Amino acid sequence: MLWAGRSAIEIARAVRHGDVKAATVVEEHLHAISERDSRVGAFRLVREQAVDEARLLQKRRDLTDLPLAGVPVAVKDNLEVAGEATRGGSAATSDAPAPEDHATVARLRAAGAVVVGLTNLPELGLVAFGDSAYGIVRNPWNPSRTAGGSSAGSAAAVAAGMVPLALGNDGMGSLRIPAACCGVLAIKPGTGLVPPPANDWERLTENGPLATTVPDLALALSVLAADPSLAEAWRGGRRVEPPPRMLRSVWADDDEVWEPQPPPASPEPFDLRVAYAPQPLPPGLPMDKEFRAAVRGAAETLRLAGHTVVEHERRLPAWLGPATIATWLVRAAEAAEGLERGRLERRTRGLARAGRVLGALKLDGVRGRERWSGYGADQWFGDADALITPALAAIPPKAERWGERGFLRNAGSNVRYAPATGAWNMCGWPAITVPLATHSSALPIGVQLIAPPGGEPHLLGLAAQLQAAHPPLRPPGFSF
């Protein structure tokens, strides 16, 4: 039986029950990577030792309790994996191996996952492209287009079926943008739910999972958050405490344990107040008409599912855009600090230079961020439980060496195609990207759902209902 292309939940169940060895699963996924990644460029490093790690996993005494038993995962190359260099998409970073796993990687491994590789990202994770000194990450749906960024390789690896789960992070949309570009799911948790990266951009950046199915995404988030009640939150939009372990049945043979039948694999009805904003951007920033239509389609799907759906006609405040851009550029300057300037890309040098100038002029976005996170986001959002917006404003740009270009071309392209996500990093609210339709360009269309703090269960439940009505698709040439 072929295990590459199957869900994380299917793989883990089979490994726990002894239907397949973890090493077999990992070997099949490494083979898929070797066959497919030449077309995509998702991985900087493929870990052949993952097979040996899977064999060791098989010997764990708690194997039957592991929620991600034997599941291959890819990790963005700005999160520490013990024994591997963390390059962050840059030739200027250290090539010394990390002494220990980042907390999120450690949690995935403790849950039984096996790290099969480190994925590419743009230098220091600064932009919504996938190119770096290590290559260009291409969109599996159209190799001439970017996979987005900065979690480019993680999104492309999941979309191309090379892994069922990947780990990335999101400082201004860096999970949601590539997920929308590549037609997969990604969730940016709210502040404090999941351990952040070492450099969290002054609490702007959150680590989170990417997957093709909502149950897989919820399971991965529950492991990353060390919160088992999130694993089944997709069923009804609320946390579900796991049942206690079943006692051995007095009627069973000595080596049998009675297990209840799993519940139906479909979301349950629940009722939220859901707003939708087909064009939330300030005047002057256009929005693709097909993306606007997708938001209306998502709203209608959720209305038919039983939710109260209302249109949100107000646009985001004009002052928020400049504050968000200034915050991004100042963070770029901080990220580049201490690295050898001559080894940094032209793009990075330009972004950092702009950030230093803004910082010196006290135009660093701090007051705008405080205003938005303090009360602005809550006032603008209104009384809805969740809000639907486009995830992107235009289709992904060409997959090219943007790092060799200057500040204006990179910043301009980023703002034109991916301006819809950064606002929710500025206030620390959770947000999820869900693939919903196909654009006339044959690229996927994703919608973004946002919720107030603590709303991750609502987002998972709504995403499950959207996915039930709009099943996920594989890119052409990447099916199994």
Tell me the whole-structure pTM to 2 decimals: 0.96
Query: What burial class does residue 32 get, using C-beta atoms within 10 Å of its C-beta: 0-12 exposed, 13-18 middle, 19+ buried?
Result: buried
Q: Considering 90, 132, 154, 174, which one is annotated as catalytic?
A: 174
Instruction: Write the pLDDT tens digit of every residue in 249-289.
Output: 444 444 444 444 555 667 878 999 999 999 999 999 999 99
Strands 43-46 and 131-132: unpaired
pLDDT at position 86 is 98
Rounded to an integer, the average pLDDT of 128-153 is 98
Strands 206-211 and 165-170: antiparallel
Which pLDDT band holds residue 220 (cuts at 50, 70, 90)? Answer: very high
pLDDT at position 264 is 61
d(CA 436, CA 180): 9
pLDDT at position 266 is 73
**CA-wise closest residue to 454 among 226, 239, 309:** 239
Whole-number Cα distances in Å, 232 to 91, 159, 184, 262: 41, 23, 19, 12
pLDDT at position 241 is 87
Instruction: Write the pLDDT tens digit of every residue in 448-473.
Output: 999 999 999 999 999 999 999 999 99
Candidate from 9-23, 240-254, 307-321 with smallest mean pLDDT:
240-254
Rounded to an integer, the average pLDDT of 158-168 is 98
Whole-number Cα distances in Å, 248 to 255, 270, 460: 9, 35, 33
d(CA 469, CA 177): 22
d(CA 45, CA 151): 15
How many percent of the chain have pLDDT more than 90? 93
d(CA 480, CA 473): 12
* Strands across the sheet containing 165-170: 43-46, 114-119, 72-76, 165-170, 206-211, 185-188, 431-438, 444-450, 386-390, 273-276, 308-311
How many percent of the chain have pLDDT more than 70? 95
Instruction: Write the pLDDT tens digit of every residue in 85-127.
Output: 999 999 999 999 999 999 999 999 999 999 999 999 999 999 9
* H or E stretch covering 145: strand 142-146
pLDDT at position 263 is 54
Cis peptide before 34 (omega within 30 of 0): no
Q: Considering 90, 150, 151, 154, which one is annotated as catalytic?
A: 150
d(CA 432, CA 210): 10
Is-contact 179 208, C-beta < 8 A?
A: no
d(CA 311, CA 298): 12
Residue 132 among the catalytic residues: no
Question: Residue with structure tokens 């700005």?
Answer: 78
Whole-number Cα distances in Å, 159 to 142, 179, 272, 275, 475: 12, 8, 30, 29, 7
Q: Considering 76, 188, 222, 413, which one is annotated as catalytic?
A: 76
Distance of CA 91 to the CA centre of its chain: 24
Instruction: Write the pLDDT tens digit of every residue in 186-209.
Output: 999 999 999 999 999 999 999 999
d(CA 43, CA 413): 24
pLDDT at position 172 is 98
Residue 154 among the catalytic residues: no
Question: Residue with structure tokens 């939710």?
Answer: 307
Average pLDDT, the chain: 95
Token pair for 187: 């969730």
Residue 188 among the catalytic residues: no
d(CA 167, CA 234): 19
Which pLDDT band holds residue 243 (cuts at 50, 70, 90)? Answer: confident
